[in-house]
Structure 1
Protein backbone atom coordinates (compact mmCIF):
# COMPACT_ATOMS: atom_id res chain seq x y z
CA UNK A 1 0.00 0.00 0.00
CA UNK A 2 2.86 2.38 0.81
CA UNK A 3 4.41 1.80 -2.63
CA UNK A 4 1.06 2.52 -4.29
CA UNK A 5 0.76 5.78 -2.38
CA UNK A 6 4.32 6.73 -3.31
CA UNK A 7 3.71 5.92 -6.98
CA UNK A 8 0.58 8.10 -7.08
CA UNK A 9 2.49 10.84 -5.24
CA UNK A 10 5.13 10.88 -8.00
CA UNK A 11 2.72 11.14 -10.94
CA UNK A 12 3.33 14.46 -12.64
CA UNK A 13 6.45 15.14 -10.56
CA UNK A 14 9.12 12.71 -11.74
CA UNK A 15 11.89 11.05 -9.77
CA UNK A 16 15.64 11.31 -10.37
CA UNK A 17 18.75 10.62 -8.34
CA UNK A 18 21.59 13.16 -8.72
CA UNK A 19 23.42 10.54 -10.82
CA UNK A 20 20.47 10.22 -13.20
CA UNK A 21 20.06 13.99 -13.38
CA UNK A 22 23.74 14.22 -14.24
CA UNK A 23 23.32 11.73 -17.12
CA UNK A 24 20.41 13.66 -18.61
CA UNK A 25 21.84 17.17 -18.21
CA UNK A 26 25.61 16.65 -18.41
CA UNK A 27 26.06 18.48 -15.09
CA UNK A 28 28.29 16.79 -12.46
CA UNK A 29 26.24 14.98 -9.80
CA UNK A 30 28.35 16.59 -7.06
CA UNK A 31 27.29 20.05 -8.25
CA UNK A 32 23.64 19.01 -8.40
CA UNK A 33 23.75 17.71 -4.83
CA UNK A 34 25.53 20.85 -3.63
CA UNK A 35 23.17 23.30 -5.30
CA UNK A 36 19.94 21.58 -4.45
CA UNK A 37 20.65 19.88 -1.12
CA UNK A 38 23.23 22.21 0.41
CA UNK A 39 26.77 21.76 1.63
CA UNK A 40 29.04 22.45 4.61
CA UNK A 41 32.06 24.76 4.36
CA UNK A 42 34.32 25.73 7.27
CA UNK A 43 31.84 24.28 9.70
CA UNK A 44 28.96 26.34 8.28
CA UNK A 45 25.93 24.62 6.77
CA UNK A 46 24.70 26.24 3.55
CA UNK A 47 21.18 25.24 2.48
CA UNK A 48 20.22 24.34 -1.07
CA UNK A 49 19.07 27.03 -3.47
CA UNK A 50 15.47 25.82 -3.11
CA UNK A 51 13.57 22.84 -1.70
CA UNK A 52 13.28 19.90 -4.05
CA UNK A 53 9.81 18.98 -5.31
CA UNK A 54 10.34 15.75 -3.37
CA UNK A 55 11.76 17.26 -0.18
CA UNK A 56 9.03 15.54 1.87
CA UNK A 57 10.49 12.13 0.96
CA UNK A 58 13.60 12.96 3.02
CA UNK A 59 15.82 11.50 0.30
CA UNK A 60 18.40 13.00 -2.05
CA UNK A 61 16.18 12.94 -5.15
CA UNK A 62 14.96 15.53 -7.65
CA UNK A 63 11.66 16.17 -9.36
CA UNK A 64 11.19 17.07 -13.03
CA UNK A 65 11.17 20.84 -12.46
CA UNK A 66 14.27 20.61 -10.26
CA UNK A 67 16.02 18.83 -13.13
CA UNK A 68 15.26 21.61 -15.61
CA UNK A 69 15.97 24.45 -13.20
CA UNK A 70 19.41 23.02 -12.38
CA UNK A 71 20.40 23.53 -16.03
CA UNK A 72 20.04 27.28 -15.58
CA UNK A 73 21.99 27.29 -12.32
CA UNK A 74 24.79 25.54 -14.21
CA UNK A 75 24.75 28.28 -16.87
CA UNK A 76 24.94 31.01 -14.21
CA UNK A 77 27.78 29.30 -12.37
CA UNK A 78 29.79 28.88 -15.58
CA UNK A 79 29.54 32.66 -15.97
CA UNK A 80 30.80 33.18 -12.42
CA UNK A 81 27.53 34.21 -10.75
CA UNK A 82 27.65 33.42 -7.01
CA UNK A 83 25.26 30.99 -5.36
CA UNK A 84 24.01 33.83 -3.16
CA UNK A 85 23.12 35.90 -6.22
CA UNK A 86 21.43 32.90 -7.87
CA UNK A 87 19.44 32.25 -4.69
CA UNK A 88 18.31 35.88 -4.52
CA UNK A 89 17.47 35.99 -8.22
CA UNK A 90 15.42 32.81 -7.90
CA UNK A 91 13.41 34.22 -5.00
CA UNK A 92 12.73 37.52 -6.74
CA UNK A 93 11.78 35.80 -9.99
CA UNK A 94 9.38 33.50 -8.10
CA UNK A 95 7.55 36.51 -6.76
CA UNK A 96 7.60 38.41 -10.06
CA UNK A 97 6.46 35.52 -12.26
CA UNK A 98 4.36 33.69 -9.65
CA UNK A 99 6.24 30.52 -10.66
CA UNK A 100 7.78 28.00 -8.28
CA UNK A 101 10.55 27.33 -10.83
CA UNK A 102 11.22 30.74 -12.38
CA UNK A 103 14.43 30.26 -14.38
CA UNK A 104 12.71 27.73 -16.64
CA UNK A 105 9.87 30.20 -17.18
CA UNK A 106 10.19 31.84 -20.61
CA UNK A 107 9.69 35.29 -19.10
CA UNK A 108 13.13 35.01 -17.56
CA UNK A 109 14.62 35.48 -21.04
CA UNK A 110 13.35 39.06 -21.10
CA UNK A 111 13.04 40.01 -17.42
CA UNK A 112 16.16 38.27 -16.13
CA UNK A 113 18.46 41.23 -16.65
CA UNK A 114 16.20 43.45 -14.57
CA UNK A 115 16.11 40.84 -11.79
CA UNK A 116 19.91 40.51 -11.79
CA UNK A 117 20.26 44.29 -11.65
CA UNK A 118 18.30 44.30 -8.39
CA UNK A 119 20.30 41.37 -7.05
CA UNK A 120 23.62 43.06 -7.85
CA UNK A 121 22.63 46.15 -5.88
CA UNK A 122 21.81 43.92 -2.90
CA UNK A 123 24.80 41.55 -3.05
CA UNK A 124 27.50 43.63 -4.75
CA UNK A 125 28.23 40.67 -7.01
CA UNK A 126 30.45 42.20 -9.71
CA UNK A 127 30.16 39.13 -11.91
CA UNK A 128 26.62 40.27 -12.70
CA UNK A 129 27.79 43.50 -14.36
CA UNK A 130 28.17 41.92 -17.79
CA UNK A 131 24.73 40.38 -17.53
CA UNK A 132 23.17 43.74 -16.73
CA UNK A 133 25.08 46.18 -18.92
CA UNK A 134 25.76 44.08 -21.99
CA UNK A 135 22.79 42.41 -23.63
CA UNK A 136 24.92 39.95 -25.60
CA UNK A 137 26.55 38.73 -22.39
CA UNK A 138 23.17 37.93 -20.87
CA UNK A 139 22.16 36.12 -24.03
CA UNK A 140 25.35 34.06 -23.81
CA UNK A 141 24.18 32.75 -20.44
CA UNK A 142 20.43 32.46 -21.03
CA UNK A 143 20.75 30.76 -24.38
CA UNK A 144 17.65 29.85 -26.36
CA UNK A 145 18.96 26.27 -26.29
CA UNK A 146 18.12 26.13 -22.58
CA UNK A 147 14.46 26.54 -23.51
CA UNK A 148 14.50 24.48 -26.69
CA UNK A 149 12.69 21.19 -26.36
CA UNK A 150 10.56 22.27 -23.40
CA UNK A 151 6.78 22.13 -23.80
CA UNK A 152 4.86 24.55 -21.61
CA UNK A 153 1.40 24.58 -20.07
CA UNK A 154 -0.96 27.52 -20.54
CA UNK A 155 0.23 28.82 -17.17
CA UNK A 156 3.83 28.95 -18.48
CA UNK A 157 5.06 25.99 -16.41
CA UNK A 158 7.36 23.38 -17.97
CA UNK A 159 5.36 20.29 -18.89
CA UNK A 160 7.80 17.95 -20.66
CA UNK A 161 11.33 18.06 -22.09
CA UNK A 162 12.71 16.64 -25.32
CA UNK A 163 16.45 16.46 -24.54
CA UNK A 164 17.72 15.61 -28.03
CA UNK A 165 18.21 18.74 -30.09
CA UNK A 166 15.72 19.18 -32.94
CA UNK A 167 14.09 15.83 -32.20
CA UNK A 168 10.94 14.71 -30.44
CA UNK A 169 11.76 11.02 -30.41
CA UNK A 170 12.85 10.94 -26.76
CA UNK A 171 10.98 12.71 -23.98
CA UNK A 172 11.13 13.23 -20.22
CA UNK A 173 7.54 13.68 -19.10
CA UNK A 174 6.74 13.57 -15.36
CA UNK A 175 3.30 12.14 -16.12
CA UNK A 176 4.85 9.09 -17.83
CA UNK A 177 7.32 6.54 -16.44
CA UNK A 178 8.09 8.78 -13.42
CA UNK A 179 9.76 11.26 -15.77
CA UNK A 180 12.45 8.82 -16.90
CA UNK A 181 13.41 9.00 -20.61
CA UNK A 182 11.06 7.13 -22.92
CA UNK A 183 10.56 6.82 -26.65
CA UNK A 184 7.84 9.41 -27.12
CA UNK A 185 5.43 7.61 -29.43
CA UNK A 186 5.74 4.09 -27.95
CA UNK A 187 6.15 5.07 -24.30
CA UNK A 188 8.87 2.46 -23.74
CA UNK A 189 11.74 3.23 -21.34
CA UNK A 190 14.91 4.00 -23.31
CA UNK A 191 17.05 2.19 -20.73
CA UNK A 192 14.97 -0.97 -21.18
CA UNK A 193 15.38 -0.79 -24.95
CA UNK A 194 19.11 -0.23 -24.61
CA UNK A 195 19.52 -3.14 -22.19
CA UNK A 196 17.66 -5.40 -24.61
CA UNK A 197 19.89 -4.12 -27.42
CA UNK A 198 23.01 -5.18 -25.50
CA UNK A 199 21.46 -8.51 -24.47
CA UNK A 200 20.46 -9.29 -28.06
CA UNK A 201 23.96 -8.74 -29.41
CA UNK A 202 23.28 -5.18 -30.56
CA UNK A 203 20.73 -6.45 -33.07
CA UNK A 204 18.24 -3.60 -33.60
CA UNK A 205 15.88 -5.72 -35.73
CA UNK A 206 15.60 -8.35 -33.01
CA UNK A 207 14.86 -5.74 -30.34
CA UNK A 208 12.27 -4.11 -32.60
CA UNK A 209 10.53 -7.48 -32.97
CA UNK A 210 10.79 -8.13 -29.25
CA UNK A 211 9.04 -4.88 -28.34
CA UNK A 212 6.90 -4.73 -31.50
CA UNK A 213 8.16 -1.25 -32.29
CA UNK A 214 9.80 0.33 -35.37
CA UNK A 215 13.53 -0.10 -35.85
CA UNK A 216 13.80 3.71 -35.81
CA UNK A 217 12.45 3.71 -32.25
CA UNK A 218 15.15 1.27 -31.16
CA UNK A 219 17.84 3.34 -32.86
CA UNK A 220 16.62 6.55 -31.23
CA UNK A 221 16.65 4.98 -27.76
CA UNK A 222 20.07 3.39 -28.28
CA UNK A 223 21.58 6.64 -29.57
CA UNK A 224 20.20 8.53 -26.60
CA UNK A 225 21.48 6.04 -24.04
CA UNK A 226 24.90 5.80 -25.70
CA UNK A 227 25.17 9.58 -25.76
CA UNK A 228 24.51 9.69 -22.02
CA UNK A 229 26.99 6.92 -21.32
CA UNK A 230 29.74 8.65 -23.28
Structure 2
Protein backbone atom coordinates (compact mmCIF):
# COMPACT_ATOMS: atom_id res chain seq x y z
CA UNK A 1 0.00 0.00 0.00
CA UNK A 2 3.05 2.28 -0.23
CA UNK A 3 1.89 3.90 -3.48
CA UNK A 4 -1.59 4.80 -2.31
CA UNK A 5 -2.33 8.51 -2.49
CA UNK A 6 -4.47 9.02 0.56
CA UNK A 7 -7.32 11.53 0.31
CA UNK A 8 -7.37 14.36 2.83
CA UNK A 9 -10.73 13.11 4.15
CA UNK A 10 -9.24 9.76 5.21
CA UNK A 11 -9.18 10.66 8.90
CA UNK A 12 -12.33 9.28 10.46
CA UNK A 13 -12.99 6.82 7.62
CA UNK A 14 -10.78 3.88 8.55
CA UNK A 15 -8.42 2.04 6.24
CA UNK A 16 -8.19 -1.74 5.76
CA UNK A 17 -6.82 -4.05 3.11
CA UNK A 18 -8.97 -7.10 2.30
CA UNK A 19 -6.41 -9.18 4.22
CA UNK A 20 -6.80 -7.00 7.33
CA UNK A 21 -10.58 -7.04 6.99
CA UNK A 22 -10.38 -10.82 6.82
CA UNK A 23 -8.40 -10.96 10.07
CA UNK A 24 -10.89 -8.80 11.93
CA UNK A 25 -14.07 -10.41 10.59
CA UNK A 26 -13.08 -14.03 9.92
CA UNK A 27 -14.35 -13.71 6.32
CA UNK A 28 -12.05 -14.77 3.50
CA UNK A 29 -10.19 -11.97 1.73
CA UNK A 30 -11.24 -13.50 -1.60
CA UNK A 31 -14.93 -13.11 -0.75
CA UNK A 32 -14.38 -9.58 0.51
CA UNK A 33 -12.71 -8.59 -2.77
CA UNK A 34 -15.48 -10.18 -4.85
CA UNK A 35 -18.32 -8.63 -2.89
CA UNK A 36 -16.91 -5.13 -2.62
CA UNK A 37 -14.76 -4.70 -5.71
CA UNK A 38 -16.45 -7.03 -8.18
CA UNK A 39 -15.28 -9.99 -10.21
CA UNK A 40 -15.35 -11.48 -13.71
CA UNK A 41 -17.13 -14.76 -14.47
CA UNK A 42 -17.51 -16.34 -17.90
CA UNK A 43 -16.30 -13.16 -19.51
CA UNK A 44 -18.87 -11.01 -17.72
CA UNK A 45 -17.79 -8.25 -15.32
CA UNK A 46 -19.85 -8.10 -12.13
CA UNK A 47 -19.52 -4.88 -10.12
CA UNK A 48 -19.18 -4.74 -6.34
CA UNK A 49 -22.30 -4.65 -4.17
CA UNK A 50 -21.64 -0.99 -3.36
CA UNK A 51 -18.90 1.60 -3.74
CA UNK A 52 -16.27 1.47 -1.01
CA UNK A 53 -15.97 4.45 1.30
CA UNK A 54 -12.52 4.82 -0.23
CA UNK A 55 -13.53 4.36 -3.85
CA UNK A 56 -11.55 7.48 -4.76
CA UNK A 57 -8.35 5.72 -3.64
CA UNK A 58 -6.73 3.83 -6.50
CA UNK A 59 -6.46 0.61 -4.51
CA UNK A 60 -8.68 -2.18 -3.17
CA UNK A 61 -9.14 -0.90 0.37
CA UNK A 62 -12.12 -0.74 2.71
CA UNK A 63 -13.41 1.89 5.08
CA UNK A 64 -14.83 1.23 8.54
CA UNK A 65 -18.44 1.00 7.39
CA UNK A 66 -17.50 -1.33 4.54
CA UNK A 67 -15.87 -3.60 7.09
CA UNK A 68 -19.04 -3.85 9.19
CA UNK A 69 -21.40 -4.19 6.24
CA UNK A 70 -19.40 -7.08 4.82
CA UNK A 71 -20.20 -9.09 7.96
CA UNK A 72 -23.91 -8.95 7.07
CA UNK A 73 -23.28 -9.91 3.45
CA UNK A 74 -21.42 -12.95 4.75
CA UNK A 75 -24.41 -13.92 6.92
CA UNK A 76 -26.75 -13.68 3.91
CA UNK A 77 -24.43 -15.72 1.72
CA UNK A 78 -24.16 -18.40 4.42
CA UNK A 79 -27.92 -18.73 4.13
CA UNK A 80 -27.71 -19.07 0.33
CA UNK A 81 -29.00 -15.62 -0.62
CA UNK A 82 -27.73 -14.59 -4.06
CA UNK A 83 -25.52 -11.58 -4.63
CA UNK A 84 -28.22 -10.19 -6.91
CA UNK A 85 -30.76 -10.32 -4.09
CA UNK A 86 -28.29 -8.82 -1.59
CA UNK A 87 -27.53 -5.98 -3.99
CA UNK A 88 -31.22 -5.25 -4.45
CA UNK A 89 -31.91 -5.42 -0.70
CA UNK A 90 -29.03 -3.01 -0.04
CA UNK A 91 -30.30 -0.48 -2.56
CA UNK A 92 -33.86 -0.60 -1.27
CA UNK A 93 -32.81 -0.37 2.36
CA UNK A 94 -30.57 2.60 1.59
CA UNK A 95 -33.55 4.51 0.25
CA UNK A 96 -35.89 3.39 3.01
CA UNK A 97 -33.54 4.10 5.92
CA UNK A 98 -31.66 7.00 4.33
CA UNK A 99 -28.45 5.24 5.39
CA UNK A 100 -25.45 4.56 3.15
CA UNK A 101 -24.76 1.27 4.99
CA UNK A 102 -28.23 -0.12 5.69
CA UNK A 103 -27.51 -3.68 6.84
CA UNK A 104 -25.54 -2.37 9.82
CA UNK A 105 -28.41 -0.01 10.63
CA UNK A 106 -30.51 -1.28 13.54
CA UNK A 107 -33.71 -0.77 11.55
CA UNK A 108 -32.78 -3.72 9.36
CA UNK A 109 -33.53 -5.99 12.31
CA UNK A 110 -37.19 -4.97 12.18
CA UNK A 111 -37.73 -4.03 8.52
CA UNK A 112 -35.41 -6.47 6.78
CA UNK A 113 -38.03 -9.17 6.22
CA UNK A 114 -40.34 -6.85 4.30
CA UNK A 115 -37.41 -5.65 2.20
CA UNK A 116 -36.46 -9.23 1.35
CA UNK A 117 -40.10 -9.97 0.46
CA UNK A 118 -39.97 -7.21 -2.14
CA UNK A 119 -36.62 -8.46 -3.38
CA UNK A 120 -37.92 -12.01 -3.77
CA UNK A 121 -40.75 -10.72 -5.94
CA UNK A 122 -38.17 -9.05 -8.16
CA UNK A 123 -35.50 -11.74 -8.28
CA UNK A 124 -37.37 -14.99 -7.61
CA UNK A 125 -34.61 -15.99 -5.20
CA UNK A 126 -36.19 -18.89 -3.28
CA UNK A 127 -33.42 -18.79 -0.68
CA UNK A 128 -35.35 -15.83 0.74
CA UNK A 129 -38.47 -17.88 1.51
CA UNK A 130 -37.44 -18.88 5.02
CA UNK A 131 -36.34 -15.36 5.86
CA UNK A 132 -39.65 -13.93 4.73
CA UNK A 133 -42.06 -16.49 6.14
CA UNK A 134 -40.44 -17.38 9.43
CA UNK A 135 -39.33 -14.77 11.93
CA UNK A 136 -37.11 -17.36 13.62
CA UNK A 137 -35.20 -18.01 10.39
CA UNK A 138 -34.69 -14.29 9.83
CA UNK A 139 -33.46 -13.81 13.38
CA UNK A 140 -30.99 -16.68 12.96
CA UNK A 141 -29.42 -14.96 9.96
CA UNK A 142 -29.59 -11.41 11.29
CA UNK A 143 -28.22 -12.44 14.64
CA UNK A 144 -28.00 -9.99 17.52
CA UNK A 145 -24.29 -10.85 17.61
CA UNK A 146 -23.85 -9.00 14.31
CA UNK A 147 -24.94 -5.82 16.06
CA UNK A 148 -23.31 -6.62 19.38
CA UNK A 149 -20.38 -4.36 20.16
CA UNK A 150 -21.36 -1.62 17.70
CA UNK A 151 -21.81 1.89 19.08
CA UNK A 152 -24.11 4.13 17.05
CA UNK A 153 -24.34 7.86 16.48
CA UNK A 154 -27.59 9.71 17.09
CA UNK A 155 -28.41 9.41 13.38
CA UNK A 156 -28.11 5.61 13.52
CA UNK A 157 -24.76 5.28 11.77
CA UNK A 158 -22.15 2.90 13.21
CA UNK A 159 -19.50 4.86 15.11
CA UNK A 160 -17.13 2.23 16.53
CA UNK A 161 -16.95 -1.53 16.98
CA UNK A 162 -15.74 -3.64 19.90
CA UNK A 163 -14.83 -6.92 18.15
CA UNK A 164 -14.39 -9.13 21.24
CA UNK A 165 -17.67 -10.39 22.65
CA UNK A 166 -18.69 -8.97 26.01
CA UNK A 167 -15.54 -6.87 26.21
CA UNK A 168 -14.71 -3.24 25.54
CA UNK A 169 -10.97 -3.64 26.01
CA UNK A 170 -10.30 -3.36 22.28
CA UNK A 171 -11.99 -1.13 19.75
CA UNK A 172 -11.99 -0.41 16.03
CA UNK A 173 -12.76 3.30 15.79
CA UNK A 174 -12.22 5.14 12.48
CA UNK A 175 -11.30 8.29 14.40
CA UNK A 176 -8.36 6.51 16.07
CA UNK A 177 -5.34 4.91 14.39
CA UNK A 178 -7.13 4.77 10.99
CA UNK A 179 -9.62 2.31 12.45
CA UNK A 180 -7.02 -0.35 13.30
CA UNK A 181 -7.55 -2.23 16.60
CA UNK A 182 -6.40 -0.29 19.66
CA UNK A 183 -6.77 -0.58 23.42
CA UNK A 184 -9.90 1.40 24.23
CA UNK A 185 -8.46 3.12 27.27
CA UNK A 186 -5.13 4.25 25.83
CA UNK A 187 -5.40 4.13 22.05
CA UNK A 188 -2.27 1.97 21.78
CA UNK A 189 -2.16 -0.24 18.67
CA UNK A 190 -2.73 -3.88 19.63
CA UNK A 191 -0.35 -5.01 16.88
CA UNK A 192 2.43 -2.89 18.42
CA UNK A 193 1.82 -4.46 21.82
CA UNK A 194 1.88 -7.94 20.33
CA UNK A 195 5.12 -7.17 18.51
CA UNK A 196 6.69 -5.99 21.77
CA UNK A 197 5.37 -9.08 23.53
CA UNK A 198 7.20 -11.34 21.09
CA UNK A 199 10.34 -9.19 21.13
CA UNK A 200 10.45 -9.28 24.93
CA UNK A 201 10.32 -13.05 25.17
CA UNK A 202 6.57 -13.13 25.78
CA UNK A 203 7.05 -11.36 29.09
CA UNK A 204 3.66 -9.74 29.76
CA UNK A 205 4.82 -7.87 32.84
CA UNK A 206 7.78 -6.32 31.02
CA UNK A 207 5.58 -5.14 28.16
CA UNK A 208 3.14 -3.65 30.67
CA UNK A 209 6.00 -1.70 32.24
CA UNK A 210 7.30 -0.55 28.85
CA UNK A 211 3.93 0.85 27.84
CA UNK A 212 2.92 1.86 31.36
CA UNK A 213 -0.39 0.02 31.08
CA UNK A 214 -2.06 -2.68 33.19
CA UNK A 215 -1.06 -6.30 32.67
CA UNK A 216 -4.70 -7.07 31.81
CA UNK A 217 -4.50 -4.62 28.90
CA UNK A 218 -1.43 -6.37 27.52
CA UNK A 219 -3.12 -9.74 27.89
CA UNK A 220 -6.21 -8.47 26.06
CA UNK A 221 -4.13 -7.15 23.15
CA UNK A 222 -2.06 -10.34 22.94
CA UNK A 223 -5.14 -12.56 23.05
CA UNK A 224 -6.80 -10.54 20.29
CA UNK A 225 -3.75 -10.59 18.03
CA UNK A 226 -3.14 -14.30 18.62
CA UNK A 227 -6.76 -15.03 17.69
CA UNK A 228 -6.28 -13.16 14.44
CA UNK A 229 -3.00 -14.94 13.71
CA UNK A 230 -4.51 -18.39 14.29
Shorter-chain-normalised TM-score: which range?
A: over 0.9
Structure 1 runs of 4+ with >4 Å offset: none
Q: What's 1:71 paired with? A: 71
Matched, 1:202 2:202: yes
Is the 2:7–2:57 Cα contact (8 Å) retained in structure 1? no
Show CA shifts across 1:63-94 (max 9, x none): 00000000000000000000000000000000
Is the 2:197–2:207 Cα contact (8 Å) retained in structure 1? yes
2:193 and 2:74 map into 1 onto residues whose CA distance is 30
Q: What's 1:124 paired with? A: 124
1:99 and 1:121 map into 2 onto residues whose CA distance is 23
1:145 and 1:53 map into 2 onto residues whose CA distance is 24
Matched, 1:155 2:139: no
Q: What's 1:213 paired with? A: 213
Matched, 1:45 2:45: yes
1:61 and 1:169 map into 2 onto residues whose CA distance is 26
Quote how far apart the aligned CAs of 1:229 are. Answer: 0.9
2:8 and 2:44 map into 1 onto residues whose CA distance is 37
Q: What's 1:166 paired with? A: 166
Quote how far apart the aligned CAs of 1:212 are. Answer: 1.0
Quote how far apart the aligned CAs of 1:6 are. Answer: 3.2
Quote how far apart the aligned CAs of 1:108 are. Answer: 0.1
Is the 2:6–2:57 Cα contact (8 Å) retained in structure 1? no
Q: What's 2:182 paired with? A: 182
TM-score, length-normalised on structure 1? 0.97
What residue ranges of structure 2 are gaps of 5+ in the alignment?
A: none
Q: What's 2:56 paired with? A: 56
CA RMSD in angstroms, aligned pairs only? 1.1
Q: Do the aligned partners of residues 19 and 73 (structure 1) sit closer, same or farther apart at CA in structure 2, a change above 3 Å counting?
A: same
TM-score, length-normalised on structure 2? 0.97
Q: Do the aligned partners of residues 197 and 73 (structure 1) sit closer, same or farther apart at CA in structure 2, a change above 3 Å counting?
A: same
2:19 and 2:153 map into 1 onto residues whose CA distance is 28
For the residue of structure 2 that corresponds to 1:57, the secondary structure is coil
Quote how far apart the aligned CAs of 1:10 are. Answer: 1.4
